[in-house]
Amino acid sequence: MKKHKVIYNLQIFGSGNESKIVAKREISYEIKLASKLLLDELCFNWNKAKLEEQINDSIDSNDKKTFLDLSKQYQHYTWE
């Protein structure tokens, strides 16, 4: 893994001439990518489970129109 970049910013606070050094550490690209992929997968699974639950509820309540609408939305979650 690559080394982290460190950025230093000099900032003046208040009316005096006091300077404060603020160090910021940049997160590496690999960690950003892995965290984004993990969050995407979690959101995908949660949305799919929620949609399945709504489909099952519409089947239980014999609501054909809602079932057809939800089944069209669910087609995006199938990759066959």
Query: For 3-52, what is each residue's pLDDT tens digit?
Result: 666 666 665 666 555 556 656 677 788 988 999 999 999 999 999 999 99
Domain-embedded: residue 27: yes
User: 73 is in which domain, residue-wise?
Assistant: 6-77
Domain-embedded: residue 38: yes
9, β-bridge pairs: 22
Q: Would you state the pLDDT for residue 25?
A: 73
Higher pLDDT, 74 or 17: 74
User: Domain tally for the chain?
Assistant: 1
Look up residue 17 and give its DSSP letter.
-
Q: Would you state the pLDDT for residue 39?
A: 96
Domain-embedded: residue 73: yes
pTM: 0.61
Domain-embedded: residue 1: no
